[in-house]
Structure 1
C-alpha cells in the first residue's frame, strides 16, 4: 500500500520573505528616517489644509508599492523597457504640443482617459534610454556616440521647455546629462559647453517668457516686487531666518500658520520645517539626504554592468538635484522653478517618480548580490 505524499506546509513568512528581500536594508532605513521627518513637517503644514496630510500618507503608500514593483524587476527587464518608455514619452509630449490641455497659460497635460503630465515620465525614461544607449556601445565610444546621446536628450528637453515648464525641463536635462557625464564625457568638452552656455545667455534671455525673466530679476532683488513676484522668496527667507538655531518648535511656526508662506505643503515645505526646527533640524535633514545619496552612489560604484552603473549613478544624482534646487530656491539663492523636495513635499506624481527611481536602485543592488551568490 503506497503512502500518500502530503506536501509540507510552508510557514507564511517563508512565502512572503522572497518578495520582501527585494528591499535594500540601508536604503529602507534612510527612507524611514526621511519619511518620519516628512510626516512631522506635513502634519504641521497641512493639518488645517483639508485632507492634505491624509493624502500625503496615501502618496507615501503608493510610492512604496511602485518602489516594490520596480525592485522586483531585474535590470534586464529595465533595459527592455528603455526604448518603449522613451518613445511613448516623446510621443505623448508631441501630442501635448498639438492638442494638450492648457492650465494657467501652460500646455502640460493631456487626456488619455485620465489627465496625465507626460513630462514626469521623462525624468525616468531619459536616463533609462541613455544608459541603454551607452550599454549598447560599451568599449567603442566615439564622439559621434556622445553627439547621438545629446540629440536623444535635447528632443524631450526642448518639447518640455516649450510647454513652458522650465523646472521639469531642467530636471530632465540634468538626469540625461549625468548619464552622459558618467559615460566618460571629456572635461574639455564640459568646459567648452560651459563657455558656450555663458556666451549664449543673451540669446536665452531673449527667448524666455516674461514670467521666467521676472523670476530671474526677482531672485536678484526680491524687494523690487515685495507683494507680487518677490513675495514667495521674501516670506520664505523670513521663515528660515526666524527659526534660528533650534527653531520655534513643532506647530509654532508663525509664518506658516498665519498664511504668509504660499505653497507651504508643496514647493515651500522646507521653509515651514526650517522655521519650526531651525538650523539643527536643517543639519539633521541634510545628513539624511547625504546618507541617501551616499548609499545610491555606493550601489552605482558596485553595479556589475555599464547600464546599471550609469542608471544608478544618474538616479542618485537626480535625488541630489531635486534636494539642492528645492532648498536653493526656498533659501533665495536659486530661481523659483517648482521643484519638490524629495520624499518631503506633497505631490502624488513626484512621489511615484521618486519611488520608481529608488526601486530601480534596489533592483540594481539586489541583482548584484544575486550575481555574486
Structure 2
C-alpha cells in the first residue's frame, strides 16, 4: 500500500473557515483530517500540496516516519502553519492505519485507559447571569455538561481601569457560584490579552475565592520566566499551551514550572504523533493535559482517541457546532464523549456529497485599538 493522492476541501465549522484533507492510498483506502485555522487559511492548500509531493509513494502505515520526515524536510522550524499542515497529513494517515487494521486509532496507541472522555463547553464570552443560566442549563439538559469555559472580561479591557476589570470578574464569579449548581465547574480564558504578569496574578486573585477549574493563557507565550512567576504567585490552576507548537517549547515551559495544566492543540503541534510526546513530557512533570479544541468533528475525533489512551488526560474542550459534512460526529452524553470500539480509524463518516459544495466563509481576527490609537493583543 502506498500514499497516492491528497485532496483539500474549503468548508466551514460554525462561523469559522476550515480546510479539510483527504489522503487516499493506491488501494482506495482514505483517511480524513481538518486543518487548524490559524489564518491565512487559503495558504494551506498549496502548502499541503508542497508537503504531499515529498511523501507520495510512501507507506501510509508508518505515520511516525512520515511525520518525522516532513519535520526534517524543513531546514528551519516550520512555524505554526507548517506544523498545522503536518498535523493534517499525520491525522489522515492515522485514520488510514486504523481502517487498514480494522481497529480504532486509540488501540494503536496501546489501548484505552478510560471508557469515555470528559468535555467542557467553550462559551468564550461572559454573558449576564440570566443568559448564562439559560445557556448552561440548555447545554446540561442536552449534553450533560457540568463544566464550562467563560471569558474573564466583563468590562472592556482596553478602555477601563484595570482594577475595575478585576473587581467585575470577582463579583461575576461570585454570583455564578451563588446562582448556578455548586457542582458545576467554570474555567476562564483570558486569551493572552494581558501584557504584564502582575495583571494575570490579579485576575487569578479575583477568581480564587470561588475555585475556578483553571485560568487559561493570561499572557503571551514567548517569555517562559513570566509563566513561572505567575504560577508561583497564583492561587488557582494555571493552564496554557495553545500557542505552543513543538515538544521543545512544552519542555521549556514544564521545566520552568510554568503551568499546572498544558493545553496543546493536536491540530497545531504536528498531529497525534507529536501530541503523544508532549503528553509524556507533561506526565513526567506531574502535569495534566487538557487539549485545546475549538474545532470541528474531525479534530474532536482525533482528540477522543488521544484522550482515550493518555493516562494524564484531564478534560477536553468541546464546541457544539453543526456541520453539513459529518453526519455522525462525537457528541457528549452525560458530559462525556463515548468511545466507538466497533468503528475503525477515527470512527466517524464524511459526507463527500456535502463537500462538493464550497461552503467557505471569510473570517478575520480583529485587533483591538486603545483610546490613544495604539493596538493591543486580542
- Please say whether Structure 1 and Structure 2 have the same fold, judged by a TM-score greater than 0.5: no
Please report the TM-score for the alignment, with normalisation by the length of structure 2. Answer: 0.25
* Larger Rg belongs to: 1
Structure with more helix by fraction: 1
- Where relative contact order (Cα < 8 A, 6+ residues apart) is larger, the structure is 1
Structure with more strand by fraction: 2
Please report the TM-score for the alignment, with normalisation by the length of structure 1. Answer: 0.25
